[in-house]
Amino acid sequence: MSAMQETDTDVDARSRGWILVALMFAMMLAAMDTTIVSTAIPQIVDDLGGFAQITWVFSIYLLAQTVTIPIYGNLADMFGRKPVLVVGTLVFLAGSAACALAWSMVSLIVFRGLQGLGAGSIMATVNTVAGDLYSVRERARVQGWLSSVWGVAAVAGPLLGGTFAEHATWRWIFLINLPIGAAALGLLVRFLHEKPRHRAHRIDYAGSVLILCTGCVLIFGLLQGGQAWPWLSAPGVGIFALAAGLIVATVWVERRAAEPIMPAWLWRDRVLAGTNLSMIGMGAVLMGPNVYLPTYGQSVLGLGAIVAGFVLASLSIGWPLASALSGPVYSRIGFRDAGLAGGALMTAAAFAFLALPDSPSVWLLVLDQVVLGAGFGLLSTPLLVGVQSTVGWDRRGTVTGANIFSRYLGQTLGAALFGAIFNSALRERLTGASPDLRAQLPQHVDEVIDALHGAHLSAPAQQYLREAIGAATAHVYVGLSAIAVLTLLVLLVAPRRFRLADT
């Protein structure tokens, strides 16, 4: 047992403004990373090769980020937010610089993993610092500002990525992180001050290792299942059996740890358990439009890539607005009921997509996305602020990390589930075509998009593929709607009143 320090933040009103700017800069690093990389993939492959490995450029980042979030949240409660956030940002910047120097696809994947390790700290700690600095009523406005970063990233990321790839070099998509990160670090060091209070801590090394291993195995299985191997194959069953064994071992170790990374009270408390489960549901719902709406827009409706991207980006209009305006809502009706209102909007938007005509206008899709984003904002912000308010400083990092980890776990589950639904529905359509059409259609789901955009298909075959993709997207939204309803039910059984802590 070693003597460590527990801290409280101690800043004046002027410093809070600069710290919020620093938090937004730090959040921008994590928010813009995926969108800015996506548009430069062709140039990266031309330079480094390894197209078959390209999915791991994204998967390794998501994996490293997600599994480390609860660990960083726990460490922030032990050692203070500032050192955890500063170290995590430095790790992210080191990974960015290394990515810019990558000499092969394998080296790029390894360095992206390093970036992800830093991003986990940013995602876990930024929202915790905001919870420390601002009152319950003010946190909604602050969450609106932080959420707006994602909206800016959705637009700026692809533009910057495309510009760097076309007019300079793809390596600048990583180098651009360095000045942004330096600005965040400078402001944090200058303005964020924490008052130390000496306290002894025992780091849960065994729990940390088991949580990392469990998360890696589970998320790896979800990412690869249905892609690298069938779900019910020996590798598919084996990896989930290993994940189940690791979960049992993690629970056993965490129950006996002096200061566990994922303490049992996170799941014994009905408020925290209900909130975390609802975040898993929200994360899953989020992946439906993120993955399949652009394909639907381009392949079914014939939209250009820019317009399809705009439709998806409209999700980021409603989200920060609803987050920023949620303060008066949860102050009046409570955190749980405000979250229910957001869940109802999310559910309504999911069902509304299914009710759209066969060839909806772009503006109907945009309106549906804005409502969906508003549902996300009104669901996530009151529940995050609510759980932060039920604990003191020494537990706020843990509950914030668990909340954000749950959302990212939900996104991984959603990607796996909706991928299976979409591919199954599309495969059924391909095999169910008439013999004349079947001779022209691709034999595998992976070939559908290339075939549709090629010039060798007849008009009836192209129309059939468009309808097949539209039907598969509708199947995804049926699943998405079901998860939205389940999320509402989870919130309904959660306590209506949150017990607020004194600090």
pLDDT at 137 over 60: yes
pLDDT value at residue 230: 79
**Predicted confidence band of residue 446 (pLDDT cuts 50, 70, 90):** low
**Residue 496 contacts residue 337 (beta carbons within 8 Å):** yes
Phi, psi of 251 (to 5 degrees): -60, -45
pLDDT tens-digit profile of 468-482?
888 888 999 999 999
Instruction: For domain 1-201, give the fold.
Output: Growth Hormone; Chain: A; (1.20.1250)
Say if residue 443's pLDDT is above 80: no
- Region 153-171: mean pLDDT is 78
Has residue 447 got a pLDDT over 90? no
What average pLDDT does this structure show over 154-166? 76
Banded model confidence at residue 4, pLDDT cuts 50, 70, 90: very low
- Written as one string, the DSSP assignment of 118-182 is HHHHHHHHHHHHHHHHS-HHHHHHHHHHHHHHHHHHHHHHHHHHHHHHHHS-TTHHHHTHHHHHH
pLDDT digits (tens, 9 = 90+) for 387-415: 888 888 888 888 988 899 889 888 888 88
| Ramachandran bin of 4, using left for φ above 0, alpha for ψ from -120 to 50, beta for the remaining angles | beta
Rounded-to-integer distance, Cα 11 and Cα 107, Å: 42
Q: pLDDT tens, 335-368?
A: 999 999 999 999 999 999 999 888 888 899 999 9
Angle formed by the axes of helices 362-389 and 393-431, to 10°? 150
Supply the pLDDT for residue 233. 84
- Across residues 12-35, what is the average pLDDT? 84
Of 41 and 191, the structure prediction assigns the larger pLDDT to 191
Considering the chain, what percentage of its residues have pLDDT values greater than 70? 90
What does residue 171 show for φ and ψ, rounded to 5 degrees? -65, -20
Q: Does residue 442 register a pLDDT over 80?
A: no
Q: Who has greater pLDDT, 262 or 146? A: 146
Question: Top-level CATH class of 265-503?
Answer: mainly alpha
Query: What's the pLDDT score for residue 455?
Result: 59
Distance CA 164, CA 485 (A): 42
Question: What DSSP designation does 101 have?
Answer: T
pLDDT tens digit string along 450-459? 677 665 777 7
Q: Please tell me the predicted confidence (pLDDT) of residue 347.
A: 95
Identical topology for domains 1-201 and 265-503: yes
Q: What are 242-251's pLDDT values in tens digits?
A: 989 988 998 8
Cβ atoms of residues 393 and 132 within 8 Å: yes
**Higher per-residue pLDDT: 372 or 236:** 372
Please say if the pLDDT value at position 6 is more than 60. no
pLDDT score, position 10: 57
The CA R_g of the chain, rounded to the nearest whole Å, is: 23
Per-residue confidence at 3, pLDDT binned at 50, 70, 90?
very low
pLDDT digits (tens, 9 = 90+) for 64-85: 888 888 889 888 888 888 999 9
* pLDDT over threshold 60, residue 502: no
Q: Which two tokens stand for residue 204?
A: 């849960």
Question: What pLDDT shows up at residue 166?
Answer: 73
pLDDT band at 99 (very low <50, low <70, confident <90, very high): very high
Pairing relation of β-strands 2-9 and 194-201?
antiparallel
Cβ atoms 291, 299 nearer than 8 A: no
* Phi, psi values for residue 200, rounded to 5°: -85, 140
Domain boundaries, the chain: 1-201, 205-257, 265-503
Q: What is the pLDDT of residue 361?
A: 86
Half-sphere exposure of 253 (CA within 13 A, CB side): 19
pLDDT given at position 33: 80
Q: pLDDT-based confidence at 305, cuts 50/70/90?
A: low
| Cα–chain center distance at 285 | 11
CA 19-21-23 angle, to 5 degrees, is 70
- Sign of the C-alpha dihedral, residues 297, 299, 301, 304? positive
